[in-house]
Structure 1
Amino acid sequence: MLTTKIVVVGAGSASFGLNTLGALMRSARLRGSHLALVDQNTQTLGVIERLALRLNQEWDAQMRITTHAHHQDALPGADFVVSAIEVPPREQLWRQDFQIPLKFGLRQPYAENGGPGGWAHAARNLGPVLQIAHDMETACPDAWFINFTNPMMRICDAVARYSTIKVVGLCHQIQAGYGMVGYCLAEELDIRVPPGEIATHADPRFWPNLKKVAKQAMEKIDIKAAGLNHFTWMLDVRDKASGADLYPLFRERWDLMDPSFEPLTRKVFADFGVFPIPGDEHLCEYLPWMSDAAARPWEKFDLSLYDWEAAEVRRGEGHAEIERMGRGIAPVAPLLEADSEGALEVIENLSRAGNHYHLAVNIPNEGYILNLPQKAIVEVPAVFSGLGARGMGVGALPVAVAELCRREIVVVQLGVDAVVQGDRQKALQSLLFSPGITDLHQAEQILDAYLTEYRPYLPTFWE
């Protein structure tokens, strides 16, 4: 029997770990493979191990299950390393990433992936991620690194430019685009819109309805989007049944919708002529017009912050549910529908020479987007097969959109270089190019505060 060794780093995650485990273990094509679960938190690792053993037995997955407190013990012979690690405590640090710049007059719209908060978030995670990549160079040099850790583009850029490991980043945010287009064209496409509010906002109460609309839309339409992670743009949308170009109809119907629906997306679509895919509260991180204290755009566009306290509560509830499943108290049938956000499909088709088309993949640009820099991490549709990951060539982005993306690429690469090299000047330059920064001294104050607050996580700057 052909076996595949899959290492899951961060396996104890209440969301990522659970869904990845369920998806991999239900796969008939991966039956009998070696699943190595890694988590530094031995308590959550033990909980996910009990569940894995239950699934292995009840689903007859015939997998070899091993657990490891350190990734080095799991890597030898690996074919795939799936990672969604986060330096803890996640929500507390994210809150600080937002609050520190406030002291110097900068209110970021979200502070997770773009702007100064995106730099701080990446800076903490780059060291642990690159350690995994460098250990892979010795233990499993031909393995694929499948990344889910945010900021996606910065993490993938570091692995691609500072290691020899093949990297692909997976993100489900394109589903927000399908949800918005499906909602707009619900009548034409015969999509059932559930009662209640529809939005791409960070509040989880919106997610179930958006997902229901997106799922129906994905069966009826095809969207080609490209750009950067959380900053992609709809280049084409077609009816799967007829092949008809739906972009003209979409523009017409979008203009007739309630203007309070995704107002930032609406404004950017109107001004740039291309529909942005990720939804308001991811899109806002990459735009330089979202932090003005006088204009208060976060109020104008109804941009809400992430609820850090609620997220901590949900994580605890998730771990409790995993424990109930592992002990046989809760049913595991829902995991038959678990979505690994593409990890399963990537592993199955790379390891078994399939042909899987994926809607959105983060990989180094090899001519896929003609007017963005070569080797920069871009998000494009791609095919996974025995040849590896091959992006779809989408041509050139509209000039203005490409310029926004190029600026973010400079921010990302300077920021990554700064952390790897311990170069304060490059870190400062990265912040100076960041959306929201309008003052030279403000950027320096924010950087110094970040470097001081996060000193234990940023050893290269203090060596």
Structure 2
Amino acid sequence: MTTITVIGAGSASFGENTLSALMRSNKLKGATLRLVDRNPHSLDIVHRLANRLNTEWDSGLTITAHAHHKDALDGTDFVVSAIEVGPREELWKSDFEIPLKYGVRQPYAENGGPGGFAHAARNVKPVLEIVRDMEQECPNAWFINFTNPMVRVCDLVNRHSKIKAVGLCHQIYAGYGMVGVALANDLGIEVPDGLEGMHADVMQHPLQQRVKQQVIPLIDIRAAGTNHFTWILSIRDKRTGEDLYPLLRERFFDLDESFEPLTRRIFQDFGIFPVPGDTHLCEYLPWMSDPITKPWEAFHIRLYDWDLMAGLRDFSLDRLNEMANGTMTVEGLLESDSEGALEMIENIAFAGNHYHLAANLPNQGQISNLPLGATVETPVHVDGAGVHPVHVGALPEPIAELCRRELMVAQLCVDAAVEGSYEKALHCLLLDPVITDMHTARNILDDYLKTYREHLPQFWK
């Protein structure tokens, strides 16, 4: 029977989404689920919740809990990784604030810019430890990655291990949301009052979901590029087959200019629609950090609310604890989304045939004008033989050039963190579109390495 190991199982988002989806699967009855987390409190909550679901939903799983991944890898078929060196919000805020001392104001600081370097470098060591142990204990298993920065983590596994990896992200649905708003009258979609955009916001999330739930059954979007930096290649009406791109080019510019203004400008200037929404799109563009023109103000780029989201994370874990204790209903978990993990596992393990809108794999020519071997995001087909990219052809050359630069920055970051190479880390920052001064790049790097010495010991050998 199928064995699934989930590393980082104590995260609240895993309990809300992937765990409950796995527990609902009829195909996985009789499978073994191994939960791994180094935080004993979080692991205990998710383990107890899993046991409750296993009983009440008659899931038929054998469930075990482990403090270290090495105890849960022997003979496993799938490793789902949702790890994050924490505390996530506190470190992310620090990644943003350190470059401010040197005059660099990043637009978001999560997966691109200097913050993307620090974020990825911290996660390299634990991810590499996992896949090295997989090579010994379960060399044929699939590594299903949810950890950000997605491109850099997948690149690490693809180029520095022998393990098969696929990276999953839900950002494609931001594209569906924006198209749904623009074509609302044409498709018969009700846009809720108060919807401002696709940025991460507690109050906006339910409004965004209402639009996405209406539009996903109606249209098919094919997009490709790099994670959080993909581009819509085609949009078609599922009922008629009609090409909706010409209509989008007309309708999107009828929207209020305050709705995703950076997306609007990029669409206008390049003629192709970016998927991720402004707060992710801004990380990979070379025009978003100028201290004189302050484009983050002109385009109303919102920073992540680190303090609020840290509090929400604690609240969500408390909520899962109440479910685990039996004092709160679990009915809300019946409709949760697996974020793609279940689709990968079921269709590989049971020789299914599934089309998935977006997944990250090494480029085997699926995007013909991006470097071979680099981690790219396209639609994929999933079956008993694995995960297979859909070949989409070439991106428009200006867009491909933006992606190529980001891919080179990502590879330099990964190699620097694996080797402990100061030189490659410096090159990573010098080539990053956020950095415009050579001395500044070195100052930021030195500060990061000093501040995060505990997390980045390889640079201090």
Specify if TM > 0.5: yes
Native 8 Å contact 1:38 1:70 kept in 2: yes
2:275 aligned partner, one-letter code: I
Native 8 Å contact 1:10 1:17 kept in 2: no
Report 1:417-432 matches (<5 A). Answer: 417-432=415-430
1:36 aligned partner, one-letter code: R
1:25 alignment partner, one of 23, 26, 48: 23
State how far apart, in whole Å, the 2-side matches of 1:410 and 1:205 are. Answer: 36
Task: Show the counterpart of 1:285.
Answer: 283
Task: Show the counterpart of 1:74.
Answer: 72
SS of the counterpart of 1:37? strand
1:72 aligned partner, one-letter code: K
TM-fit CA distance, 1:198:
3.6
TM-fit CA distance, 1:160:
0.3
Task: Show the counterpart of 2:355.
Answer: 357
TM-fit CA distance, 1:44:
1.1
State how far apart, in whole Å, the 2-side matches of 1:171 and 1:250 are. Answer: 24
State how far apart, in whole Å, the 1-side matches of 2:9 and 2:345 are. Answer: 16
State how far apart, in whole Å, the 2-side matches of 1:223 and 1:271 are. Answer: 21
Native 8 Å contact 2:111 2:149 kept in 1: yes
State how far apart, in whole Å, the 2-side matches of 1:276 and 1:348 are. Answer: 31
2:379 alignment partner, one of 371, 381, 403: 381
Task: Show the counterpart of 1:462.
Answer: 460
Report 1:95-110 matches (<5 A). Answer: 95-110=93-108
Task: Show the counterpart of 1:115.
Answer: 113
Native 8 Å contact 1:48 1:322 kept in 2: yes
**Number of positions where the alignment pairs a residue of Structure 1 with one of Structure 2:** 461
Task: Show the counterpart of 1:304.
Answer: 302
1:322 alignment partner, one of 317, 320, 323: 320
Native 8 Å contact 2:15 2:320 kept in 1: no
State how far apart, in whole Å, the 1-side matches of 2:335 and 2:115 are. Answer: 34
1:390 aligned partner, one-letter code: H
Deviations 1:145-165 (A, max 9, x none): 000000000000000000000
Task: Show the counterpart of 1:180.
Answer: 178
1:415 aligned partner, one-letter code: C
TM-fit CA distance, 1:429:
0.5
Task: Show the counterpart of 1:206.
Answer: 204
Deviations 1:60-80 (A, max 9, x none): 111000000000000001100
Query: RMSD of the alignment, in Å?
Result: 0.8
State how far apart, in whole Å, the 1-side matches of 2:266 and 2:247 are. Answer: 18
State how far apart, in whole Å, the 1-side matches of 2:202 and 2:406 are. Answer: 28
State how far apart, in whole Å, the 1-side matches of 2:125 and 2:356 are. Answer: 29
In structure 2, stretches of 5+ residues that fail to align are none
1:255 alignment partner, one of 253, 268, 276: 253
TM-fit CA distance, 1:289:
0.6
What TM-score do the two structures reach when normalised by structure 2?
0.99
Native 8 Å contact 2:107 2:301 kept in 1: yes
State how far apart, in whole Å, the 2-side matches of 1:88 and 1:262 are. Answer: 30
State how far apart, in whole Å, the 2-side matches of 1:94 and 1:249 are. Answer: 39
2:267 alignment partner, one of 262, 269, 286: 269
Native 8 Å contact 2:105 2:289 kept in 1: yes
State how far apart, in whole Å, the 2-side matches of 1:83 and 1:198 are. Answer: 32
Task: Show the counterpart of 1:416.
Answer: 414
Native 8 Å contact 2:74 2:137 kept in 1: yes
Deviations 1:301-330 (A, max 9, x none): 001111111111111111111111011100
State how far apart, in whole Å, the 2-side matches of 1:198 and 1:99 are. Answer: 27
TM-fit CA distance, 1:184:
0.4
Task: Show the counterpart of 1:34.
Answer: 32
2:264 aligned partner, one-letter code: R
TM-fit CA distance, 1:217:
1.1
TM-fit CA distance, 1:195:
2.4
Task: Show the counterpart of 1:191.
Answer: 189
